[in-house]
Amino acid sequence: MPDSSSTAPRFLAPSQVAELLSIEVDEVIELVYQGRLRGSKLGSPARWRIEESSLSEYLDEQSEEARRIALWHQANEASFPEVWGTSRRQGI
């Protein structure tokens, strides 16, 4: 019999996600509405639950965005003489 726990999505309460991300619960729900986290209202009464895998994907996206921003800043800080050489133009 296949192990269903490896294929079934695991869910976290918004408060757990908020604690992990150091943000407010309302911000977690907003991330769900924006489509940046996958969540569903489950149970009776219905309560928000966030897919654990979407949290991992969100963190990966945030890391990639931070990496790109750092590279952009690094490129902007490079001076033209450092990039193109130190020769001076004559006759100016």
pLDDT tens by residue, 46-86: 999 999 999 999 999 999 999 999 888 877 776 555 556 66
Give the distance, in angstroms, between the CA of residue 36 and the centroid of all CA atoms in the same chain.
Answer: 8
- Classify 37 in phi/psi space as left (phi over 0), alpha (psi -120 to 50) or beta: beta
- Mapping DSSP to helix (H, G, I), strand (E, B) and coil, where does residue 61 land? helix
User: Phi and psi (nearest 5°) for 42?
Assistant: -125, 155
Q: Which DSSP helix (H) or strand (E) runs through 55? A: helix 52-77
The mean pLDDT of 32-47, rounded to a whole number, is: 94
Q: pLDDT by residue (tens digit) across 11-36? A: 999 999 999 999 999 999 999 999 99
What pLDDT score was predicted for residue 71? 87
**Prior bond of 45 cis (ω within 30°):** yes
